[in-house]
Amino acid sequence: METNQIELITRMVMEAMEKKENAGNGYMVPVGVSARHIHLTQEHVEALFGPGYHLTKKKDLMGGQFAANEQVTIVGLKLRAIENVRVLGPVRKASQVEISATDAMKLGIKAPLRESGDVAGSAAIAVVGPKGAVYLDEGCIVAKRHIHMSPRDAQAAGVKDGDYVSVKADNERGTVFDHVKIRVDDSFTLEMHIDTDEANASKIATGDTVKII
């Protein structure tokens, strides 16, 4: 193989590697701060709000979800409670409570850090509504931070569903978030979700932007 061919192939390989290494670098992402909330099964909706009851929509969210008008109280094992926890709809196959680490301390429970939907072996918690109460043997978690993207956004950022990236907030705190999972779906709007603990520590508010580094 001639020397110029070897140089050409080497340059192409180096450029491909550099492109892969820099995928997503500098891509700006808006932030949504996720407050504590709960997802319920229809069975639990009726146990908490009455037979035949259906959730009522307050505000549309991404991915076909919505913030409901309904709210509940969550109670930890030491009877410590947090009131006015927003219910998100539509109903799910399994009920799930998402709180911050600070909330977990207040409730006196050990809620594990998990991805949404991964509730096996998670913390137990009681939920109280205006018409009744339910006890969840498992289902209370601290949700892992993540970025929602449409396929078009993912292509522009050079990432794919299931990738993990690092993200930096260029403010006075200059916080870097590692292990941020990418979630891609046609129904998603570009947004990074962090909980209230992460937002307060990094001085980030909903609507601020961060960048993939």
In the chain, where the domains are located: 25-32+145-212, 35-143
CA distance 74 to 97: 9
Residue with tokens 């998670």: 122
Q: How many helices (H) and strands (E) does the chain have?
A: 5, 14
Mean pLDDT of the chain: 92
Please, which pLDDT band fits residue 17 given cuts at 50, 70 and 90? low
H or E segment and range at residue 118 = none
Q: Mean per-residue pLDDT for 9-32? A: 69
Please, which pLDDT band fits residue 13 given cuts at 50, 70 and 90? low
116-157 pLDDT, tens digit per residue, is 999 999 999 999 999 999 999 999 999 999 999 999 999 999
Classify domain 25-32+145-212 at the CATH topology level: Barwin-like endoglucanases (2.40.40)
Residue with tokens 């522009």: 156
Rg, C-alpha atoms of the chain: 21
Q: Mean per-residue pLDDT for 11-24? A: 57
